Structure 1
Amino acid sequence: MKIEVLYEAQLRQLAGAPSMHFEMAEDSTLLDVLRRAAEEGGSEFGAKLLSPEGGLQPGILVFIGEQAVAADAVPQQSVQDGDSILLLPPISGG
């Protein structure tokens, strides 16, 4: 199945692209997609996206379409063919 992952802010800069498309197995989870994105995006991007343990970094917001996904639901959240996943890193400033 085909999945699109969209990047914002620092993730976009580190990935060098606003989005990537991945071909994933039918039984893939959201975490599988994020791990694939981390591999494809390079080491700096991967470290910003995933913790050393392989889970989502704290503060990263994840949306499938317009639906927010709670951080603790990421490992078991299923994805569907054609899903668009938005990754939004923490933004600071004032």
Structure 2
Amino acid sequence: MGKSQRDKGQRREREFAKLIGGHRVPLSGAQEGYTNDVIGMGLAWEVKARKSGFKTIYDWIMDEREKPDALALKADNKPWLVVMTLDRFKELVGDGRNN
């Protein structure tokens, strides 16, 4: 991974940590013993950022006709995943600032 990709990842981790009132895990992924990217709202988070790698997921969750609260995703032989906007997540569990 190049410096620009690493810097982008760290920017997104800091941004997400701020949004949920959490904190970025220093050295996450770079040194043994430092796992996950962000801790907040009582959860350990991995933060992924792609220029357009999640386009289909965004298309599904932002569908103006369907207006889903969340997506349920499943690949063969893998566990179910639930995807929702951060705003909807915070509505359901609170803003996390007290955790």
- TM range, normalised to the smaller chain? under 0.3
The higher relative CO (CA closer than 8 Å, separation ≥ 6) is in: 1
For normalisation by structure 2, the TM-score amounts to 0.24
TM-score (norm 1): 0.24
Larger radius of gyration: 2
